[in-house]
Amino acid sequence: MMRFVVRRAVWLVLTLWMVFTISFFLMRNTKGGPFDGERTLTPAAKKVLEARYHLDKSLGEQYWLAIASYLRGDLGYSIKMPDLRVSYFIREGLPISAALGCLSLAIAIVVGVTIGVIAALRRGGIVDTSLMALATIGIAVPNFILASLAVLLFAFTLHWFPPAGWGTPEQLILPVCCLAAPYTAYIARLTRTSMLEVLGQDYLRTAMAKGLSPSRIVIRHALRGALLPVVTYLGPAAAGILTGSLVIEQTFGIPGLGTHFVQAALTYDYTLCMGLVLLYTLILYTLNFLVDLSYSWLDPRVKLE
Amino acid sequence: MPLLTVDDLRVQFHTDDGIVRAVDGVSYKIERGETLGIVGESGSGKSVGSLALLGLIPTPPGHIAGGRAMFHDKDLLRSSQHELRQLRGHKIAMIFQDPLTALNPFLTVAEQLMESTIRHLKFTESKARQHAITMLERVGIPGAASRIDDYPHQFSGGMRQRVMIAMALSCQPELIIADEPTTALDVTIQAQIMELLRELQQTTGMAMILITHDLGIVAGNCKRVNVMYAGKFVEEAPVDELFAHPKHPYTRGLLGSLPRIDQGRAALTPIPGQPPDLAHLTPGCPFAPRCMNRQPDCETTFPPVTLLPPQHRYACYHP
Amino acid sequence: MPEPSPSLPSAQPRELERYAALLRETEHVRGKSPARIAWQRLRKRWPAMISLAFLVVLALLAIFTPLLPLQAPRAVEMPRASLPPEVWNEAGSLGAKSDAIPSEIPVLDKISVKVKQEDDDGNVIEVSKEVDPPNPAIEQLQTGFGYDELDFFTRWLLRCRVHLFGSYAWNSWCGTDHLGRDLMSRIFWGARLSIAAALVATFVSLVVGVLYGAVAGYLGGRIDNAMMRLVDVLYAIPFVFIVIFLMTLLENKQYQETLAAIGINRMVIFFLMIGALFWLTMSRVVRGQVLALKHQQFVEAARSLGAGNWWIIRKHLIPNLLSIVIVYLTLTIPNVMLIEAFLSFLGLGVKAPDVSWGLLANEGRQAITPVIFHWWQVVFPGAAIALTLYSLNFLGDGLRDAMDPRLRNR
């Protein structure tokens, strides 16, 4: 167990270093500094800025300086908004994005597993067919189309929810639902498939031969095995929700990390972009680690190594 | 009155290839404390028949197409799932072939043992646990109290089957259906498990249906034998009678392919041909294509059951 | 059966006869090949079959789009901006003459022009050269269809279309976009790009994933362990963000020039990145399957019967891998299309004047606000994406069920 954690931590550091190095050299290799395009900059001001980003030093020196400051937890300044540190954007955006993401993931798991189990138990029936048809729509429609249709219907036509913004619970509902929809659908289908597989296992027959109630058979005997593929999928699902948050935050005007990231990418704000990529890597890696831990907790046969 | 009377049991499956008559008109009786062997090749419908008694046939594609199965005064085939649940694991228990797949890999042995006594005998948690340890000791698991919280994969094959048996016996059932209980085990373990079953049966007085493809196991453990072929009844007789005077050519074929210690190194004679495709059966005797005594009438209608008093029954025109 | 030689002991012919009898018996119990069983089972699943039919039709339409009497996808006509769908025009017909498409492509004689050239000695001389004269029809096709950028086959189809239909074109059955371009035509032309992008990117992930997974699974042991650990690590990297990051970096002129010099354009990078995104799962799936197959008894049985490596790979490994790979492909293509749409949403995908479904859907999304409501601009591209992904999902489900032997007879 300890060895597992330590090994994972080492890999995490290596991964972050790899991402950092590749991004760093791709970024700095662009001819001309990031300030060349700015007409308003006087040579003196430019010098000050370049000193701040260490652009006046050699590439090697820049690299070591950057690594040293990252190790101290200092992600530097944004290039396009030089008065703001990258950590400022993270402090502002992370709580919002985390709330949005966690809520969506929770909804996706709870609703998805419930739908999947119901569909599997009613296999071939009208409930199963319609639930799965619905789930497939969730998978087949791109996120931003779903979001804009939802805004059109629930905000502009029915006036149930506000179309955009952040802060009140009503403003939360639409974005969370739109973000969760594809993953709910996917988890539902996954649960259904694995549930059907588990329902065909010999040990389910044993449980039935013991005269247990159907609810106990499903919850105690079947669900655990059926959840394993779902847990495996949680890593990719988390990655997907991170990605989806880019779209959803843009569409609903939520000032989260995703919005900052897209802005940074579109305005070539390399330092901000890189800081956020590293943060996303850290988040995803941690989530994957938690998934592996929960996997070994769910399946007693799995040993962590 | 017999404990269980099965009369003209029919089970069918709807498959891509058509209707498969997995069990087609099988009848037998079993008295209290008695052991009945049901023998047949794989795919002869012996397991399906016993699963059908407990309502464990996956529906669809399977369904019970007819017959009666009186347990005490209740027809199992016409009981609701709710009624059957009261019986399963309580009055009628089952032991399955492969203990590796038949035990839930995600739950501890303790939990799997305790849940049936908690449900059927209304035991408290602690009493159920105590009872589970007692049961494990009775089936000969060393250090039962410390091993009870292990998972099935931490036991060896033979030990797993002992757990399975402990599980089946924990509510003191009146009838136990053992579906090839030793097939998945090593030969040395097989004997131990059969020994254990025999001993437990004597002490508890339960009846047992022993389903197997191995006439050797039947010889040492059963009083009467029921032979099946392609889902159909073939022959039923007390064990000694069947081994001494088999009537049906199929039974003779089975006995001929069994190695015997008293006949030296005489060659074993396999039954020629292959078992038929259950989806495309002809109206006649399903064994006819492989039968040495075949006559034209074998191919047209299934032979009626002949009774040879006192207890020998067989279905053959030309024994 | 070979005649037993007389020198053999007498027991031998009897044995041989028995084997011959066994062989004759096996003649009757011949099984169906897994592929045939799968196909038979698939045919019974109507959602999968309808999906398959839809996808085949879609593919044919996409290939032969230039041949169809569609309007020019790039012909900007501001007076016709954002017109709602119109199936029958005022004249009551389904189509009309389009000004943006030439009625014929005249064959013009080559003309000779004088060009200045340097001769061997470095003196500038004038040489006369035979060149194609400026052809107004081709120029029209250039503005309407981007003729010069098309490949040979597409150009040929387009010329056939002009010969067949002239300047006749269907009405704007799906309406027009904010620049007055015919939406149906853009959806058809966008299908070509979207489908091609999905197929190429999927193919990249297929090749990389299958090779990587098969090598890891086949070699096993330490190498397998290391290779799979790398995959685990890569899984934890948010590739989409890195792709976005790289895409923005590559917007930089300097990189573009360098890359263009070695013949890599934006689309190629796009394919490579998406391929890189999806090979991970593929490699895991393939590796698992290879590992399982390697220890299957039928493989060992074949080996014990003297089958060579190549025979085992061809007869046992590939057919068994194929099913899982095909199923996975039907699930990767939708994902690639979603990513394409996603990148278009961020403005990092296909760039105008090229057109893809993601681009259309994103343009359509912007046409829905509280003040303007051009529903057709989002509904039709959205429906095209959704229907395709829907079909692919259903086909994938059907295939998986059909190919899974455990599910037989269920």
ipTM: 0.83
Contact at CB, A299 and B56, closer than 8 angstroms? no
For residues C214-228, average pLDDT: 84
Tokens of A13: 């550091």
* Cα C54 to Cα C47, C50, C384, distances in angstroms: 11, 6, 11
* Closest residue of chain C to B20, computed from CA coordinates: C409
B18 touches chain C (CB under 8 A): no
* Closest residue of chain B to A222, computed from CA coordinates: B104
Contact at CB, C409 and B16, closer than 8 angstroms? yes
| Beta bridge partner(s), residue C124 | C118
How would you class B185 by CB atoms within 10 Å of its CB: exposed for 0-12, middle for 13-18, buried for 19 or more? Answer: buried
CB-CB: which of B61, B273, B274 is closest to C409?
Answer: B61
- Chain B residue numbers touching A200 (CB-CB < 8 A): 58
C28 touches chain B (CB under 8 A): yes
- The torsion of the CA quartet C173, C174, C176, C182, rounded to 10 degrees, works out to -70
Contact at CB, B16 and C21, closer than 8 angstroms? no
Cβ atoms of C304 and C339 within 8 Å: the answer is: no
Tokens 């297929």 correspond to C206
Tokens of C120: 């061997």
CA geometry: angle A120, A122, A128, nearest 5 deg = 80
Give pLDDT, residue C5: 47
C40 touches chain B (CB under 8 A): yes
* Closest residue of chain B to C24, computed from CA coordinates: B273
Cβ atoms of B109 and B147 within 8 Å: the answer is: yes
Q: 3-state DSSP call for residue B23?
A: strand
Q: Provide the pLDDT confidence category of residue C187 given band limits of 50, 70 and 90.
A: very high
- CA C134, chain centre distance (Å): 36
Buried b (16+ CB within 10 A) or exposed e, C117-135: eeeeeeeeeeeeeeeeeee
Altogether, the residues listed in chain A come to a count of: 305
Dihedrals phi, psi of C91, to nearest 5 degrees: -75, -5
Contact at CB, C346 and A266, closer than 8 angstroms? yes
For residues C233-243, average pLDDT: 75
Cβ atoms of C240 and C248 within 8 Å: the answer is: no
- Chain B residue numbers touching C25 (CB-CB < 8 A): 273-274
- Chain A residue numbers touching C378 (CB-CB < 8 A): 145, 148-149
Query: Which residues are CB-contacts of B306 (< 8 A; sequence separation ≥ 6)?
Result: B247, B313, B314, B315, B316, B319
Q: Among candidates A48, A45, A67, which has minimal Cα distance to A56?
A: A48
Largest CA distance in chain B: 66
Cβ atoms of A115 and A184 within 8 Å: the answer is: yes
The whole-chain average pLDDT of chain C stands at: 80
Give pLDDT, residue C1: 43
Cβ atoms of A249 and A100 within 8 Å: the answer is: yes
C25 touches chain B (CB under 8 A): yes
Cβ atoms of C162 and C68 within 8 Å: the answer is: no
Which residues, numbered 261 to 300 in chain C, qualify as contacts with chain A under a Cβ-Cβ cut-off of 8 Å? 281
Q: How many helices (H) and strands (E) does chain C have?
A: 15, 4
CB-CB: which of C233, C334, C386 is closest to A15?
Answer: C233
Amino acid of residue A92:
E
Query: Which residues are CB-contacts of A72 (< 8 A; sequence separation ≥ 6)?
Result: none
Cβ atoms of B157 and B190 within 8 Å: the answer is: no
Cβ atoms of B93 and A208 within 8 Å: the answer is: no
C336 touches chain A (CB under 8 A): no
Cβ atoms of C97 and C167 within 8 Å: the answer is: yes
Q: What are the helix (H) ranges across B170-304?
A: 187-204, 215-221, 239-244, 249-256
Contact at CB, B103 and A203, closer than 8 angstroms? yes
Which residues, numbered 169 to 198 in chain A, qualify as contacts with chain C under a Cβ-Cβ cut-off of 8 Å? 197
Secondary structure string (H, E, C) spanning chain C = CCCCCCCCCCHHHHHHHHHHHHHHHHHHCCCCCHHHHHHHHHHCCHHHHHHHHHHHHHHHHHHCHHHCCCCCCCCCCHHHCCCCCCCCCCCCCCEEECCCCCCCCCCCCCEEEEEEEECCCCCEEEEEEEECCCCHHHHHHHHHHCHHHCCHHHHHHHHHHHHHHCCEEECCCCCECCCCCEHHHHHHHHHHHHHHHHHHHHHHHHHHHHHHHHHHHHHCHHHHHHHHHHHHHHHCCCHHHHHHHHHHHHCCHHHHHHHHHCCCCHHHHHHHHHHHHHHHHHHHHHHHHHHHHHCCHHHHHHHHCCCCHHHHHHHHHHHHHHHHHHHHHHHHHHHHHHHHHHHHHCCCCCCCCCCCHHHHHHHHHHCECCCCECCHHHHHHHHHHHHHHHHHHHHHHHHHHHHCHHHCCC
Contact at CB, B16 and C28, closer than 8 angstroms? no
- The torsion of the CA quartet B173, B179, B181, B182, rounded to 10 degrees, works out to 160
Distance (Å) from the alpha carbon of C319 to chain B's nearest alpha carbon: 23
Report the relative pairing of strands B224-229 and B35-39 from DSSP bridges.
Answer: parallel
Q: Does B60 sit behind a cis peptide bond, omega within 30 degrees of 0 on the bond before it?
A: yes
How many contacts, defined by CB atoms under 8 Å, are there between A and B?
78
| Rounded CA separation B301/A254 (Å) | 79
Tokens 């006509």 correspond to C77
CB-CB: which of B85, B96, B120 is closest to A202?
Answer: B96
Distance (Å) from the alpha carbon of A199 to chain B's nearest alpha carbon: 10
- The torsion of the CA quartet B193, B194, B197, B200, rounded to 10 degrees, works out to -90
C406 touches chain B (CB under 8 A): no
Largest CA distance in chain A: 85
Low-confidence ranges of chain A (pLDDT < 50): 31-32
Cβ atoms of B22 and B10 within 8 Å: the answer is: no
What is the block-wise mean pLDDT of chain B (319 residues), using blocks of 10 residues?
85 81 85 88 82 82 84 85 87 86 88 89 89 87 87 87 88 88 80 84 87 84 87 86 85 79 66 77 80 80 80 82
Give pLDDT, residue B261: 65
C410 touches chain B (CB under 8 A): yes
Contact at CB, C361 and A142, closer than 8 angstroms? yes
Cβ atoms of B196 and B243 within 8 Å: the answer is: no
pLDDT at C237 > cutoff 80: no
Contact at CB, C25 and B61, closer than 8 angstroms? no
Q: A36: part of which helix (H) or strand (E)? A: none
Q: Is C220 left (phi over 0), alpha (psi -120 to 50) or beta?
A: left
C384 touches chain A (CB under 8 A): no
C30 touches chain B (CB under 8 A): no
C22 touches chain B (CB under 8 A): no
Tokens 């990767």 correspond to C332
Amino acid of residue B278:
L
* Closest residue of chain A to B169, computed from CA coordinates: A210
C241 touches chain A (CB under 8 A): yes
- Give the best residue of C328, C333, C345 to mutate against chain A (max A CB count within 10 A): C345
Largest CA distance in chain C: 101
B250 touches chain A (CB under 8 A): no
Contact at CB, A206 and B153, closer than 8 angstroms? no
Which residues, numbered 215 to 234 in chain C, qualify as contacts with chain A under a Cβ-Cβ cut-off of 8 Å? 229, 232-233
- CA B228, chain centre distance (Å): 11
Tokens 């037989």 correspond to C408
Altogether, the residues listed in chain C come to a count of: 410
What pLDDT, in 10s, does the model give residues C362-395?
A: 888 888 777 777 888 888 888 899 899 989 888 8
CB-CB: which of A124, A201, A300 is closest to B151?
Answer: A300
Cβ atoms of C271 and C201 within 8 Å: the answer is: yes
- Chain C residue numbers touching A143 (CB-CB < 8 A): 338, 342
A13 touches chain C (CB under 8 A): no
Contact at CB, C249 and A143, closer than 8 angstroms? no
B91 touches chain A (CB under 8 A): no
| Beta bridge partner(s), residue C118 | C124
Give pLDDT, residue B215: 83
Contact at CB, A300 and B105, closer than 8 angstroms? yes
CB-CB: which of C29, C41, C409 is closest to B274?
Answer: C29
Distance (Å) from the alpha carbon of C338 to chain A's nearest alpha carbon: 6
Contact at CB, A243 and C238, closer than 8 angstroms? yes
For residues C65-87, average pLDDT: 83
Cβ atoms of B146 and B132 within 8 Å: the answer is: no
Contact at CB, B151 and A301, closer than 8 angstroms? yes
Q: Provide the pLDDT confidence category of residue C56 given band limits of 50, 70 and 90.
A: very high
How many contacts, defined by CB atoms under 8 Å, are there between A and C?
132
Cβ atoms of A29 and C253 within 8 Å: the answer is: no
| Beta bridge partner(s), residue B4 | B30, B71
A153 touches chain C (CB under 8 A): no
Q: Among candidates B208, B203, B202, B183, which has minimal Cα distance to B193?
A: B183
C240 touches chain A (CB under 8 A): yes
- The torsion of the CA quartet B202, B205, B211, B215, rounded to 10 degrees, works out to 40
Subunits in contact with chain C (3 or more CB pairs closer than 8 Å): A, B
Q: What are the helix (H) ranges across C295-404?
A: 297-304, 309-312, 318-345, 357-366, 376-403
Tokens of C5: 């030689």
CA geometry: angle B305, B308, B311, nearest 5 deg = 95
Subunits in contact with chain B (3 or more CB pairs closer than 8 Å): A, C
| Rounded CA separation B47/B177 (Å) | 10
